Structure 1
């Protein structure tokens, strides 16, 4: 079979897996809005219910270094890990359908699902560095766009199913859909080089830990992860507090996910064409300004939807820059590259896992918010909006990755 067609088939299969793994966590804002009124769950605070969504994405990212360390050591078992991942994801969604307490949801929809997603997603993603050496940024952007496409339709599907059939039927339907769309992709997710040729056991070169460029990009990525998830998590609730209805919140969430599709492809293309610092600057400053100027002053539907479009195009698109971060931090070898990729994913996971606890503290009805109209931000959301914007601004520090860079004895991998 032609190698170009095989690479295309891999990218299509990876796109569908990306869509199915990330759509439920990125649509959790709709679940959160419903759970606060669910007879079995409404007695729990929104902060404890928000933790489920934070874990669903945060643990998925955080587990990446461990999963990739194991599969790089035992590459023959990548397919086994993916099958186990599908099983855990389906089991987590099914278990959440029958949950009656918040800790049930934390274990099933929060932890089981995210661990399963990690075992499915990260072995699949390692093949990207084998199939694509040039235009890796845009290939990564296309793959990540699956999340955005799924996120366009998933909030509306979930909202309609929850409204008509309730939580149990909705989660069971998602479990069945997960099986239907992921299992047929498995035959196309395979390495370019036969496994027998890459099993050689070598230690990972950790010299990148001495490079200031790696640490600057890692810290910038951590800040971006801390802010990135918050609008998606709270926009449906924010829209309800504005009395705009649940459909408006789902529409805003859908626009964030939908706008990320062209955003991911554009920033991936831009990072291949120019120095990655321009892409970092566009994503960080642009998304921060959309938070401060649009979300901060939104009290009607139009500015809220404008914010969703602008933020969706610029903030989630940060993920398309990771291959360029990897190349900058000394990751040309496929095994080395996947290890570095897992570190940047893990950094974002730390931010995502911390996002919900921090946000719940900022939204707590203490004297600085008190759930009342304030000078900035609607109904006490001001501190959350300011925190989101400031952390996005901090991610722009990634543009300084060359300022303190140590000179290396080996030449730096340049743009491909």
Structure 2
């Protein structure tokens, strides 16, 4: 793995940046893979003692992802204030994550799962992966969108493999054994990476003040992008929560639900990479609009009429590629805001956009359970709209459409051709300038 030196290695090129990214990929997978496989756990918990038949299960998975997103903001800020504590933060994070999963294996009630597999595991995950995101930003400048797209692809690939693994393991060994096994695997594989992975630049002796990271709240661009981000997040998680249950409700084969979640997450990995590449070459607003419209069409026309296995699996692929690529836009969302408020750290900005997604995640759990209580349209409506999931499908599609609000940021900028837009030349972004200044002063 790359090591620090008084003469930093160049970003973007060579073995060092990509080897660091490979390590981040593994950390990302272990941090996010289990929460993004929640649909399989929910189906198991709902049908097996000691928790079968209990209300509020959806909140466990959405709390895990929501806390992961939201806690990243204060963790980013704290590590910018006290940068020397980044390794200690990661060590504490893997410890919290392992303890949370082992504690969850003893759960007998939904509230136990919310506190352990939900909140505590989300806290541990945020503390584990946040320090590595900060350093990844140092290793990539011109290819930043691609790098973060590959990073977030770790979530999708892990989310594709883990549901199949857990479907097998839960039926054979039960949730207590599988949670403990995942905790051990995370510690054994991730702990060595904490000690060998290093950032590109020396850790500064003095960090930035908390107050400077609040400057972004005065940026109209930030609020335009964040509004679209939060609204998109309100519906984004509903397919991954309910696809497994939905498949059973429309009398599809048992494996179809698990396979649809795996395909969605695998497609999300591809979407993260493609979206990251797109943001490096096209205007951010164009990418946001394309992702929003494609995912909304997938929801309304495919999930809405998915009463057969091929249609449901096709929906998982298209929705995963489009909606699943959304997080890869946060890097260039942060660049756009950073141009207006230079004092705000890039890591904090990425964390704030992640927190917006986290708000949507936490709210979507109880919200989705409320939407399920609305009466179904029955035979009066075609396809899946006539099932108990019709309202959820409609809400998910609308939230996907409204995610395109971020496109309005373009109205505030000088007109620029997409073909000539590597974000007004990536080499001149604030991060690139900071990187050059940092290298010149080493």
**What runs of 5+ residues in structure 2 fail to find an aligned partner?**
4-8, 415-422, 427-442
Whether contact under 8 Å (1:21, 1:117) holds in the other structure is: yes
Change over 3 Å in CA distance of 1:383–1:165 after alignment to 2: same
Structure 2 residue 257 is matched with structure 1 residue 252: no
Whether contact under 8 Å (1:10, 1:188) holds in the other structure is: no
Change over 3 Å in CA distance of 1:239–1:117 after alignment to 2: same
Q: CA shift at 1:187, angstroms? A: 2.8
1:93 and 1:242 map into 2 onto residues whose CA distance is: 32
Q: CA shift at 1:206, angstroms? A: 4.2
Partner of 2:322: 314
Question: Where does 1:231-246 land on structure 2 (aligned, <5 Å)?
Answer: 231-246=239-254
2:342 and 2:219 map into 1 onto residues whose CA distance is: 17
Q: CA shift at 1:317, angstroms? A: 0.4
Partner of 2:349: 340
Partner of 1:105: 113
1:414 and 1:339 map into 2 onto residues whose CA distance is: 22
Structure 2 residue 298 is matched with structure 1 residue 287: no
Q: CA shift at 1:59, angstroms? A: 1.0
1:211 and 1:99 map into 2 onto residues whose CA distance is: 44
Structure 2 residue 259 is matched with structure 1 residue 276: no
2:69 and 2:21 map into 1 onto residues whose CA distance is: 21
Partner of 1:410: none
Question: Where does 1:96-135 land on structure 2 (aligned, <5 Å)?
Answer: 96-135=104-143
Question: Where does 1:177-192 land on structure 2 (aligned, <5 Å)?
Answer: 177-192=185-200
Partner of 2:361: 352
Q: TM-score, normalised by structure 1?
A: 0.93
**Can you list the C-alpha shifts for 1:154-179, whole angstroms capped at 9, x where unaligned?**
10100000111111111111111211
Question: Where does 1:322-333 land on structure 2 (aligned, <5 Å)?
Answer: 322-330=330-338
Whether contact under 8 Å (1:93, 1:172) holds in the other structure is: yes
1:374 and 1:255 map into 2 onto residues whose CA distance is: 31
Q: CA shift at 1:205, angstroms? A: 5.5
1:334 and 1:163 map into 2 onto residues whose CA distance is: 52
1:346 and 1:402 map into 2 onto residues whose CA distance is: 23
Change over 3 Å in CA distance of 1:357–1:337 after alignment to 2: same
Question: Where does 1:188-203 land on structure 2 (aligned, <5 Å)?
Answer: 188-196=196-204, 199=207, 203=211
Partner of 2:164: 156
Structure 2 residue 384 is matched with structure 1 residue 375: no
2:66 and 2:413 map into 1 onto residues whose CA distance is: 30
Partner of 2:49: 39
**Can you list the C-alpha shifts for 1:361-382, whole angstroms capped at 9, x where unaligned?**
1101x4x328x45515142111
Change over 3 Å in CA distance of 1:347–1:84 after alignment to 2: same
Question: Where does 1:136-175 land on structure 2 (aligned, <5 Å)?
Answer: 136-175=144-183
2:211 and 2:264 map into 1 onto residues whose CA distance is: 40
Aligned residues: 405
1:334 and 1:272 map into 2 onto residues whose CA distance is: 23
Match of 1:224 among 223, 232, 235: 232
Match of 1:401 among 404, 409, 414: 409
Structure 2 residue 301 is matched with structure 1 residue 299: no
Q: CA shift at 1:405, angstroms? A: 5.9
1:160 and 1:82 map into 2 onto residues whose CA distance is: 31
